[in-house]
Structure 1
């Protein structure tokens, strides 16, 4: 498979603008749950201010005290409940800094949570983590959602029994090897699974079918971008000097020709290295070579793009799969300006063929809306 020419991907806001429909219009009764305190920064607990069950009551950090205001039911239905109500993202927002509150349980996507093996608690709709603002451990600090960054402000010890990131991933190592029989040894399965904690909602949102479809979709696009996980870096070296935008205030400190395509999604341009590095807590602007030298970093940049960037589309690839828009919209978000709407049907077909093949390996229907 030939390696395709890179394009200018613009770094966008962290989550697509697609509005997610309510999972149910009726109140949802809690499934089997584990109950107890949820502790985090400085050993303090997630707490309902004033032990009030009124809608809109702030959810905050506070000294652990064992009261009902800190007893949370972490349900297998994805809800986290206290005082008979649900942990809720105010205003159904997906933005960084959206505050947490207590609210009547409605089945809304803003009341769904997943606890990862890395101790993140993630709202899959926003693909963001419960966070202590500025890592302020003072009593009464109101909690929010924020782009997952792996810091102590986002690490929680919750009672077991709730939804979690499957430790084995929905793709087994044997299936991964079947998908990529000729892959470069750089692209390790362990590197991929190590990167999952950066975006715990990936392949962990919705039904088992949706989880498998998303994993297949991501890996199918990765397959196309890298020629079957063969290429680590962009093959056309003549393009390398093109990916420096000197219009950015930070310039290109690693050099004019340092920001070429690398990794499973072939991250390119200085502004994308800056944005991905900032999100992941890695200085990729000054050291872009990490993406071609560290398999986990490479996979994390691919997951960063997949989960947070709209690209030339109108939604993130993650949201396209989770919200039922279909595989075709993932193509549009990755390379729509060059491939979709009849511009390069052969390239689109290559991605679709890989997706259908990978979905078959995972034993799941590929669903509708395969083309863009």
Structure 2
């Protein structure tokens, strides 16, 4: 499995996974039966707390795998010990931000109720950055050839965008990936590459090949303040113009994206044009969480097989799809076909909306 992030080394040499209050991820009762609870417990150096990361995406103890119960994806789904079976429920990404993420659910390993008592069950939960989701885990025994772990290498990125603005850096993009660990890291290698290509094709279209950081028509700038919102437009009437790879605009979108990312973009929208990682994060926020005029997020469109056309619908379907502007749709499709070719992956079906 190609992981999205470099793996953080453990503080301890014995392969334990430590988290809240310095306690360990523990197999309850050192029981090897399928379905045994995984819990938080005082570190004691036993085999029940010794985990390996063999490089195939799994985390293993007592000869079995860390598993999401019934392959659930809902907040609060518990984790357990289970026979290793190669399923998505047993795939984990240990991020550079010290999260342990199940890409299928796009959720983090979490200590229930932020409770550090011995025996507290572990579960998956929407990643929120709290101490109950931060872990120090054993380093991988495997690893890919791309140091970033992203399915698009820096050389490929530069090939795709030979004339890009230096603001849209590869390092900024890879730094932003921790905000949405499931992005380009869900499903087969083909699906991962197709999603990365779909995202890059759409942002290429929105920014003229990653050239434009801000909206070029300054006359539009004052139009993006919805004064009817209770928080108003504290940065100014004309402060919420399009910025970044998906040209984030409107005060309510800056508010929503900022809240999701833990960044005050409502009061400081200029961060999106001054900080490359923040800009990329806003693009990933839209891609992974917003349906726009469509019926699904672009992320879900790609990982669930709906096809590239549905990403167009979610981004600008009300102006482009269903015959409204076929030239613009074709431009996006052409970019997608070109980028999938660079990545060495088939584009799949359902390319048009």
Q: TM-score, normalised by structure 1?
A: 0.80
Tell me the equivalent position of 1:167: 147
The corresponding residue for 2:182 is 201
Aligned position for 1:356:
337
Measure the CA separation in 1 of the matches of 2:126 and 2:222.
Answer: 31
Question: Alpha-carbon deviations, 1:55-112, whole Å to 9, x = none?
Answer: 6554332221233432334454433344565433346443444443445656543332
Q: Secondary structure at the match of 1:72?
A: coil
1:71 aligns to 2:50 (yes or no): yes
Q: 1:330 aligns with which of 311, 314, 323?
A: 311
Deviation at 1:351, TM superposition (A): 0.6
Bigger CA drift: 143-152 or 174-183? 143-152
Q: Alpha carbons of 1:288 and 1:97: their partners in 2 closer, same or farther (altered >3 Å)?
A: farther
Instruction: Give the Cα separation in 2 of the matches to 1:251 and 1:95.
Output: 34
Deviates more, 1:141-150 or 1:300-309: 141-150
**Is it true that 1:312 corresponds to 2:332 in the alignment?**
no
Measured after TM superposition, the shift of residue 53 of structure 1 is: 5.2
What SS is found at the alignment partner of 1:301?
A: helix
Q: Give the Cα–Cα distance (whole angstroms) in 2 for the partners of residues 108 and 297 of structure 1.
A: 33
Secondary structure of the 1:350 match is helix
Is the contact between residue 73 and residue 80 of structure 1 (CA under 8 Å) also seen in structure 2? yes
Give 3-state SS (helix, strand or coil) of 1:59's partner.
Answer: strand
Cα distance in 2, alignment partners of residues 53 and 68 from structure 1? 11
Give the structure 2 partner of residue 343 of structure 1.
324
1-side partners of 2:350 and 2:304: how far apart?
A: 12
Q: Do 1:149 and 1:281's aligned partners in 2 also have CA atoms closer than 8 Å?
A: no
Give the Cα–Cα distance (whole angstroms) in 2 for the partners of residues 251 and 110 of structure 1: 43
Separation of aligned partners in 1, 2:75 and 2:254: 20
- Are the aligned partners of 2:104 and 2:187 in contact in 1 as well (CA < 8 Å)? no
Q: Report whether the alignment pairs 1:215 with 2:196.
A: yes
User: Aligned pair 1:288/2:269, yes or no?
Assistant: yes
Aligned to 1:116: 95
Which stretches in structure 2 are left out of the alignment for 5+ residues?
1-13
Please give the secondary structure, in 1, of the residue aligned with 2:125.
strand
Gaps of 5+ in 1: 1-34
TM-score computed with the length of structure 2 as normaliser: 0.83
Taking the aligned partners of 2:83 and 2:143, their CA distance within structure 1 comes to 23
The CA distance in 2 between the partners of 1:43 and 1:307, in whole Å, is: 32
CA 1:99–1:220 in 2, change beyond 3 Å: closer, same or farther? same
Distance 1:338 1:164 in 2: 43
* Counterpart residue number, 1:262: 243
Deviation at 1:225, TM superposition (A): 0.9
Distance 1:261 1:146, change over 3 A: farther
- Mark the CA change 1:305 to 1:177 in structure 2 (over 3 Å): closer, same or farther: same
- Distance in structure 2 (CA, Å) of the matches to 1:138 and 1:271: 40
Q: Over aligned residues, Cα RMSD in angstroms?
A: 2.9
CA offsets, 1:288-324, max 9 Å, x none?
Answer: 1111111111011111222232333333222322333
Range with bigger deviation, 356-365 or 62-71: 62-71
Residue in 2 aligned with 1:227?
A: 208
Shift of residue 197, structure 1, vs aligned partner: 2.3
